[in-house]
Amino acid sequence: MSKQVRAASLVAMAALLLSGCTTGATPQPTNSYTPKVYVNAPLTGMPFEEGTRPSLDGPSVACKIDNVHTETLKANINRTDLVYVELVEGGLTRLVAVWHSDLPTAVGPVRSIRPMDPDIISPLGGIVCYSGGQLKFVTMMRNTNVFNASETSEQSNGTFSRAKDREAPKNVLVDAAKLAAAHPDLTPPAAQFEFTAITEQASAVAAGTPVGNFSIYYPSALSHWDYNGTNFARTQDGIAHKDSESGLQTTATNVVVLNVQIDRQYGKVPKTILVSSGTGWVFSQGKQVAVKWSKASQTAPIVLTDADGAPVKLIRGNTWVELLPQNENGRLEVEAPLEDTTK
């Protein structure tokens, strides 16, 4: 083959290659990155990657929990999203503890229902657990939109059990995870408070005054909270309030204290009046701010507003609500933080 023919062939092949490169579709780079989707837990405002917390798609589980300081069995109380402290007989207190974003297999000790519990729990929907109670109070609870799970009604379902190392009646436990999973038809709770992801925008932080610790006096019980630099640590009647499972002291990101009135229509059993309005305080990040509260109906959540009527924002995290009985000699004492003498 002559040099001229060989050169012409090479030119023709090059042209074909170039033609193939220019006439075809331009290759596009593949993008395998999928952005993560986050959902906020309604009762804490905390974000979780979608699909990592199946419990967020199901109901909350609210349980009546013993709150006497000598009762050491407080199973997984530190995994709650929301807790209410209410006045009961003898000037003592009991808890309405709510689990949702983190459902344990054992919570307790579960105790009996009280007349204000329908007003506390109805805004959540979901499930309420209790060991029993006076018939009129049980009937009031059953007449709500909440699924009632009592020790007698759940005997065959394996969700209630008795701790062998405790004496009755303070030994009733509930498998909250199993109970919630048994009711996929129930919907998640609505948010009960407003949260902010930016700490500096929380109402207490933005407009509040510094707090070192504070005490809430009930007629025969004392709740005390100490700021530890991150959140508030709880003491009950002079004894550190601890989770019996983890052994750690109970802490709260937010503590809401509401001035409430007590109705004595049931004799020695007090009923906290919640479908009403009043004043209170919010404690977050070592600060406190005065608030107003209102609740329009049994199923409506408690609404918190500031002095200007704007919604109060809490820091994302767990919240304890102390229902302070104003007409039963309840009082709040607040101490400013100690000055740093090392500076």
Quote the tokens at residue 213: 């610790």
Q: Parse the chain into domains and list their residue ranges.
A: 39-335
Q: Are 107 and 97 in contact (CB under 8 A)?
A: yes
Per-residue confidence (pLDDT) for residue 15, from 0 to 100? 46
CA distance 227 to 213: 6
Quote the tokens at residue 267: 């004799």
Per-residue confidence (pLDDT) for residue 156, from 0 to 100? 65
Rounded average pLDDT per 10-residue block, the chain, 343 residues: 46 46 57 83 96 94 86 82 97 97 95 97 97 96 97 84 81 94 96 97 97 97 96 94 91 98 97 98 98 98 97 98 96 81 39
Thinking of the domain 39-335, which architecture would CATH place it in? 3-Layer(bba) Sandwich (3.50)
Q: Which residues of 64-89 are buried (b: 16+ CB within 10 A; e: fewer)?
A: bbbbbeebebbbbbbbbbbbbbbbbe
Per-residue confidence (pLDDT) for residue 339, from 0 to 100? 58
CA 121 to chain CA centroid, nearest Å? 12
